[in-house]
């Protein structure tokens, strides 16, 4: 993933008002570490812990898209559950429900899209970890985890944009 500047991210929001996009708090340092190993950027707003942001650049989408997310309340200890994007269950903090208002009139009417993802949003790094011996295909099939992660994130963006 190439570096994306903060003003470009603010202009890329599809489901948020200009004033809310202007109030986005970016993680420090920006861009986050290991950006070259990430297919997308996502983070929890340090000033609003139930708000998060997702930035998806090409080639997963035609042009860079930024999406405001709402995080579900966490009650009790985190439970191991399967992430809908990277299909792992070993994220520290488990998986959380994230909900994105749809773009346009459907979002203003209250329609939203939800998905369970790793609480730390490090799906790209997990998809790139080497497979353990027992996880490798005995038939020699290629490891498609990174490509499948990109497809699932792209499908989520399409649902927010109401293209799916």
pLDDT in tens, the chain (164 residues): 677 889 999 999 999 999 999 999 999 888 777 788 899 999 999 998 899 999 999 888 989 999 999 998 776 676 678 999 999 988 888 889 999 999 988 888 899 999 999 999 999 999 998 877 777 777 777 788 899 999 999 999 999 998 65
The per-residue pLDDT for 137 is: 74
Tell me if 51 sits within 8 A of 69, measured CB to CB: yes
Q: Dihedral through CA 147, CA 158, CA 87, CA 89, nearest 10?
A: 140
Residue 66 lies in a domain: yes
- Judge whether 1 lies within some domain: no
| β-strands 41-44, 112-118 pairing | unpaired
* 49 within domain boundaries: yes
Q: Which helix (H) or strand (E) holds 82?
A: none
In a domain, 16, yes or no: yes
Task: List the beta bridge partners of residue 71.
Answer: 98
In a domain, 67, yes or no: yes
Distance of alpha carbon 67 from alpha carbon 159, whole angstroms: 12
Instruction: Please confirm whether the linkage preceding 29 is cis (ω < 30° from 0).
Output: yes
Number of independent structural domains in the chain: 1
Instruction: Give a yes or no: residue 58 inside a domain.
Output: yes
152 within 8 A of 84, measured Cβ to Cβ = yes
* Residues 11 and 24 sit within 8 Å (Cβ to Cβ): no
Residue 144 in any domain: the answer is: yes
**Domain of 100, in residue numbers:** 6-160
In a domain, 37, yes or no: yes
């Amino acid at each position: 993933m190439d570096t994306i500047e903060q003003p470009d991210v603010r202009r890329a929001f599809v489901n948020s008002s200009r004033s809310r996009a202007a109030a986005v708090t970016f993680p420090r340092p920006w861009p986050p570490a290991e950006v070259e190993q990430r297919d997308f950027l996502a983070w929890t707003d340090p000033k609003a812990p139930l708000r998060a942001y997702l930035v998806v650049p090409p080639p997963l989408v035609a042009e860079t898209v930024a999406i405001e997310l709402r995080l579900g309340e966490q009650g009790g200890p985190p439970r191991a559950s399967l992430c809908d994007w990277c299909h792992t269950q070993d994220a520290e903090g488990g998986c959380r429900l994230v909900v994105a208002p749809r773009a346009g009139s459907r979002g203003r009417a209250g329609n939203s899209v939800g998905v369970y993802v790793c609480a730390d949003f490090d799906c790209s790094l997990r998809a790139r970890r080497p497979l353990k011996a027992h996880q490798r295909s005995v038939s020699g099939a290629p490891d498609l985890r990174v490509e499948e992660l990109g497809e699932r994130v792209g499908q989520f963006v399409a649902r927010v944009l109401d293209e799916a």
